[in-house]
Amino acid sequence: MSELNLEMVNEDPNPVKKKHNARVEIDGELCKECLLCIEVCAPDVLKVSESLNKMGYHPVEYIGDGCTGCGVCFYVCPEPGVIRVFKKNKVA
């Protein structure tokens, strides 16, 4: 049961002080740029890409560091297959 840890969501994100062994993968080709994930990302580690995907959207991308693995972006994303969250940074 992957209950969300809401404390993680609400905590002050500081990747320098706390090291989270997690990451997020985004399939930019499927992203429709609704930006809901950026809106909810507490550690603020997602941004809009400057490049366009085939559908004509600027997809969201992971800045590469600081993901806490909270999974909120996965749940607010309306697309089935865009976001994958690796909570413990396991090899995919």
Confirm or reject binding of residue 78 to other proteins (CB under 8 A): yes
Smallest separation, CB 82 to other proteins (Å): 8
Q: How far apart are CA 22 and CA 11, in angstroms?
A: 16
List 32, 48, 49, 58, residue binding other proteins (CB under 8 A): 32
User: Is the C-alpha dihedral spanning 25, 22, 90, 78 positive or negative?
Assistant: negative
Find residue 23's DSSP bridge partners: 86
Burial class for 17, CB neighbours closer than 10 Å (0-12, 13-18, 19+): exposed
If one asks whether residue 71 binds other proteins (CB under 8 A), the answer comes out as yes
Which residues, in sequence order, are bridge partners of residue 47? 61
Mask for 35-64, x = binds other proteins (CB under 8 A): xx--xx-------------xx-x-------
* Contacting positions for other proteins (CB under 8 A): 1-4, 6, 9, 29-30, 32-36, 39-40, 54-55, 57, 70-72, 74-88, 90, 92
